[in-house]
């Protein structure tokens, strides 16, 4: 079970879990008609490195605010979605986006946990990270899909963090997530 911090800080930190975060899919304009398509993710986790986030905060809002050199400013923050484990196992977690996914059997015919399910929850599958939240955290057990990472504007996150903050994964556990994400991104696929 992962350790969670419930204290809110204005600074965006690695491991922060926020609700209802928007990803702009597309914006188009035709003959004066604008169409904006966006996806709202019920929960996302911040994956950007904490040192980068700290520097961005200090130079943008903190002690170094106002400095002309914007070298430390980030353009955006890396996040990944958390999917409800039950939906994920069904393969239905993206059905509202008209996408189907593989389903994972939890129990075999002998009513024992399947190897596939155990690999998932033991975080043996590089692409996914399973989080088992404590009962006092109002968040369903979830799966992070590293392949679905996206970026969010820093100002947007800062403006919405207070209202959308759910909790934050503790240091050791968030570093594990970060390490697994880095490994997944840097993987080399051999034919």
- Among the listed residues 11, 72, 87, 158, the single contact to other proteins using CB under 8 A: 87
Q: How far is CA 64 from CA 12, 59, 165, in A?
A: 16, 5, 25
Closest to other proteins by CB, 94 vs 125, is 94
125 interacts with other proteins by CB under 8 A: no
Biggest alpha carbon distance in the chain? 66
User: Which range touches other proteins (CB under 8 A), out of 27-35, 59-67, 149-157, 169-177?
Assistant: 27-35
Nearest distance from C-beta of residue 37 to other proteins, angstroms = 5
- What phi, psi does 74 have (nearest 5°)? -85, 155
83 neighbors 145 (Cβ within 8 angstroms): yes
- Among the listed residues 1, 70, 138, 185, the single contact to other proteins using CB under 8 A: 138
d(CA 127, CA 5): 25
Give 119: exposed, middle or buried? Use CB within 10 Å, 0-12, 13-18, 19+: middle
- Among the listed residues 81, 130, 144, 146, the single contact to other proteins using CB under 8 A: 81
Residues with Cβ within 8 Å of residue 176, at least 6 apart in sequence? none
Closest to other proteins by CB, 23 vs 61, is 23
Collapsing DSSP to helix, strand or coil, 33 comes out as strand
Nearest distance from C-beta of residue 83 to other proteins, angstroms = 8
Q: Residues for the chain: how many in total? A: 191
166 interacts with other proteins by CB under 8 A: yes
- Among the listed residues 51, 66, 69, 96, the single contact to other proteins using CB under 8 A: 96
126 interacts with other proteins by CB under 8 A: no
- Among the listed residues 49, 55, 76, 92, the single contact to other proteins using CB under 8 A: 92
Binding site for other proteins (CB under 8 A): 19-20, 25, 29, 32-43, 81-84, 87, 92-97, 138-140, 142, 166
């Amino acid at each position: 079970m992962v350790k969670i911090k419930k204290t809110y800080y204005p600074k965006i930190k690695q491991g922060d879990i926020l609700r209802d975060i928007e990803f702009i899919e597309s914006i188009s304009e035709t003959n004066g008609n604008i169409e904006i398509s966006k996806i709202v993710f019920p929960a996302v986790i911040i994956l950007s490195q904490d040192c980068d986030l700290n520097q961005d905060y200090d130079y943008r809002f903190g002690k170094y605010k106002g400095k002309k050199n914007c070298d430390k400013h980030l353009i955006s923050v890396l996040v990944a979605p958390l999917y409800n484990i039950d939906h994920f196992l069904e393969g239905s977690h993206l059905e509202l986006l008209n996408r189907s996914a593989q389903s994972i059997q939890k129990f075999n015919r002998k009513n024992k946990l399947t190897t596939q399910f155990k690999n998932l929850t033991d975080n043996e599958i590089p692409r996914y990270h399973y989080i088992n939240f404590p009962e006092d955290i109002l968040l369903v057990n979830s799966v992070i899909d590293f392949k679905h990472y996206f970026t969010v504007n820093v100002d947007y996150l800062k403006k919405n963090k207070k209202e959308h903050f759910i909790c934050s994964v503790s240091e050791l556990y968030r570093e594990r997530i970060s390490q697994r994400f880095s490994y997944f991104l840097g993987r080399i696929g051999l034919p």
